[in-house]
């Protein structure tokens, strides 16, 4: 290691950056689309269970590993369990981060296209059917989605090569609060729509007859994806935390805000889906078809729409920066690469794979593996398999293998109150028993291994 490791400057910086990683397309694009495909309410319930009961403790586990070692994912396991197979989780995490970066950049690229379309007032097209066609024409044009993917990744390069603190922290502090405000405004607007009640009941009323194995797998995957959990992203970020950062509190705040944003997105999208007579199970393009229809019905729609897609683009950036940081820290610290070189390597691989994902909606739409396009395959494999497997290994490692004194020292603040002590006990219980059992159970039933 050559350079001194960076640290986040302020407490707000820690929260904003961790939330910045968690909040992104996962909440605003992926949550409504997955909830739509998987029937709404029951999916939400499974997602919430995995976020708060399983997710929060596993977030704490990643924080413990990261801050205790102050290293990248690979380095952390080398330090804690040298020569043992636990370190495999770091390779799975690096693989997942690159797969996610590839397909995520495609959707982030769509937001860039939609900033342009908003500025041109969607070429005067305002009917839902016209806006659908617009999306299809764009996605099937091949070169445009590919170009935006590349441009988005270049934006990542610019921020990442400037280092941790300056680039990431400043941006998160300004834009996260703005995003919240605008989401609240749009959800109030959706609540006044004619079919608001129908939309809300789709989202919030669980119909347990709809709980199929794929809903279980999907709900678990969404929780991990949305929390940026199971791939070492939070290990890497918490390696930059200071000693005073309260880990449990940070985990809860992150999960709470992350969930709030997803719920707001659902409250914005589903009333509109039913009001415009659309299909909730439209898949990845759902949000990009519905939002323009919402905006075009608002006074000053063009301005709202532009502002929204700019913020969504920025929210995607804070997430992709965090997933890139995993492999960049790894390349830098394990291979002694310069930051610039490590960043190029990461972004370069994602560009190649990202272009293939972008073409999955056009010329490669018939090219499928196990019935999935490359885009869907990368998403399924990373979110539904790699991240939960990573979470499983991390929870067992911190629950059973890591020295209990380390766990205590990292989780417990100075002079802990009764509530803190109970909370820490619950977290340890969850890491030892509940998390491994629940994740394994979903795999067994969900993938039909049983």
Q: Give, for 372, the enclosing helix (H) or strand (E).
A: strand 372-373
SS3 assignment, position 368:
strand
> CA distances (Å), 66 to each of 26, 70, 240, 431, in order?
23, 6, 8, 16
> CA distances (Å), 213 to each of 38, 203, 208, 441, in order?
10, 19, 12, 11
Dmax over CA atoms of the chain, in Å, equals 64
Phi-psi region of 298 (alpha: psi -120 to 50; beta: other; left: phi over 0): beta
Looking at 108-116, 224-232, 266-274, 403-411, which segment touches ligand PHE (CB under 6 A)? 224-232
CB of 319 to ligand PHE, least distance (A): 4
Looking at 24-32, 123-131, 148-156, 400-408, which segment touches ligand PHE (CB under 6 A)? 24-32
Looking at 20-28, 157-165, 347-355, 367-375, which segment touches ligand PHE (CB under 6 A)? 20-28
Site string for ligand PHE, 189-218 (x = CB under 6 A): ------------------------------
Angle at 35 (CA atoms; ends 432, 55), nearest 5 degrees? 20
CB of 147 to ligand PHE, least distance (A): 22
Distance CA(390)–CA(122), nearest Å, equals 42
Residues 78-137 interacting with ligand PHE (rule: CB under 6 A): 100
Q: Would you say 100 or 355 has its CB closer to ligand PHE?
A: 100
Looking at 58-66, 223-231, 337-345, 399-407, which segment touches ligand PHE (CB under 6 A)? 223-231
Residue 27 engages ligand PHE in binding (rule: CB under 6 A): yes
Looking at 55-63, 283-291, 319-327, 436-444, which segment touches ligand PHE (CB under 6 A)? 319-327
Reading the block at residue 397, the tokens are: 């490692």
Q: Would you say 27 or 238 has its CB closer to ligand PHE?
A: 27
Angle at 147 (CA atoms; ends 142, 148), nearest 5 degrees? 110
Closest CA to 319 of 79, 156, 433, 94: 156
CB of 9 to ligand PHE, least distance (A): 22
Q: Would you say 182 or 426 has its CB closer to ligand PHE?
A: 182
* Contact with ligand PHE (CB under 6 A) among 16, 22, 294, 389: 22
Looking at 18-26, 118-126, 343-351, 395-403, which segment touches ligand PHE (CB under 6 A)? 18-26
- Judged on CB neighbours under 10 Å (0-12, 13-18, 19+), 11 is middle
φ and ψ at 417, to 5 degrees?
Answer: -85, 175
CB of 382 to ligand PHE, least distance (A): 8
Distance CA(41)–CA(203), nearest Å, equals 5
* Contact with ligand PHE (CB under 6 A) among 14, 16, 19, 25: 25
φ and ψ at 281, to 5 degrees?
Answer: -90, 35
Question: To which residue do tokens 């040298």 refer?
Answer: 82
Closest CA to 149 of 115, 97, 101, 98: 101
Residue 106's contacts (CB-CB under 8 Å, 6 or more residues apart) are: 145, 149, 354, 357, 358, 375
* 8 A C-beta contact, residue 12 and residue 186: no
Residue 176 engages ligand PHE in binding (rule: CB under 6 A): no
* Contact with ligand PHE (CB under 6 A) among 18, 21, 236, 293: 21
Closest CA to 387 of 14, 83, 22, 18: 22
Residue 24 engages ligand PHE in binding (rule: CB under 6 A): yes
* 8 A C-beta contact, residue 406 and residue 246: no
CB of 189 to ligand PHE, least distance (A): 23
Q: Would you say 93 or 301 has its CB closer to ligand PHE?
A: 93
Residue 26 engages ligand PHE in binding (rule: CB under 6 A): yes
* 8 A C-beta contact, residue 230 and residue 396: no
Site string for ligand PHE, 247-286 (x = CB under 6 A): ----------------------------------------
Which neighbouring-strand residues pair with 373?
368
Tell me the CA end-to-end span of the chain in Å, nearest whole number.
46
Residue nearest to ligand PHE (CB): 26
Looking at 19-27, 62-70, 79-87, 430-438, which segment touches ligand PHE (CB under 6 A)? 19-27
Residue 222 engages ligand PHE in binding (rule: CB under 6 A): no
Q: Would you say 237 or 295 has its CB closer to ligand PHE?
A: 237
CB of 196 to ligand PHE, least distance (A): 25
* 8 A C-beta contact, residue 265 and residue 87: no
CB of 317 to ligand PHE, least distance (A): 10
CB of 37 to ligand PHE, least distance (A): 17
The residue ranges that bind ligand PHE (CB under 6 A) are 21-22, 24-27, 100, 225-226, 228, 231, 233, 319, 322-323
């Amino acid at each position: 290691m050559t350079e001194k490791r960076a640290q986040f400057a302020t407490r707000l910086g820690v929260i904003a950056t961790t939330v910045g990683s968690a909040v992104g397309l996962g909440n605003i694009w992926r949550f409504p689309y997955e909830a739509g495909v998987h029937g709404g309410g029951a999916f939400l319930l499974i997602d919430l269970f995995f976020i708060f009961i399983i997710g929060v403790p596993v977030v704490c586990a990643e924080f413990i590993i990261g801050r205790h070692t102050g290293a990248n994912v690979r380095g952390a396991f080398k330090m804690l369990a040298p020569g043992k197979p636990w370190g495999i989780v770091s390779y799975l995490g690096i693989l997942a981060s690159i797969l996610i970066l590839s397909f995520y950049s495609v959707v982030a690229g769509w937001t860039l296209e939609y900033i342009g379309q908003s500025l041109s007032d969607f070429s005067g097209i305002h009917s839902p059917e016209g806006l659908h066609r617009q999306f299809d024409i764009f996605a099937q044009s091949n070169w445009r989605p590919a170009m935006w993917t590349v441009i988005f990744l270049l934006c990542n390069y610019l921020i990442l090569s400037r280092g941790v603190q300056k680039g990431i922290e400043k941006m998160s502090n300004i834009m996260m609060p703005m995003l919240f405000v605008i989401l609240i405004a749009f959800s109030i607007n959706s609540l006044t729509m004619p079919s608001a009640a129908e939309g809300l009941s789709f989202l919030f009323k669980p119909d347990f007859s709809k709980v199929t194995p794929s809903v279980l797998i999907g709900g678990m995957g969404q929780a991990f994806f949305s929390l940026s959990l199971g791939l070492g992203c939070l290990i890497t970020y918490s390696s930059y935390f200071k000693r005073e950062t309260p880990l449990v509190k940070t985990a809860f705040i992150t999960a709470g805000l992350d969930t709030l944003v997803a719920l707001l997105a659902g409250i914005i999208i589903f009333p509109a889906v039913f009001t415009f007579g659309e299909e909730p199970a439209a898949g990845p393009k759902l949000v990009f078809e519905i939002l323009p229809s919402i905006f075009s019905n608002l006074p000053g729609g063009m301005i709202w729409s532009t502002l929204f897609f700019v913020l969504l683009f920025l929210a995607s950036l804070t997430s992709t920066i965090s997933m890139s940081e995993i492999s960049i820290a790894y390349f830098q610290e394990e291979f002694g690469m310069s930051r610039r070189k490590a960043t190029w390597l990461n972004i370069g691989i994602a560009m190649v794979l990202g272009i293939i994902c972008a073409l999955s909606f056009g010329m490669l739409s018939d090219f499928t593996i196990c019935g999935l396009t490359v885009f869907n395959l990368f998403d399924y494999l990373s979110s539904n398999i790699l991240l939960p497997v990573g979470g499983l290994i991390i929870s067992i490692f911190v629950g059973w293998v890591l020295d209990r004194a380390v766990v205590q020292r990292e989780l417990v603040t100075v002079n802990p109150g009764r509530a803190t002590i109970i909370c820490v006990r619950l977290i340890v219980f969850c890491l030892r028993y509940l998390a491994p059992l629940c994740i394994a159970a979903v795999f067994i039933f969900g993938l039909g291994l049983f």
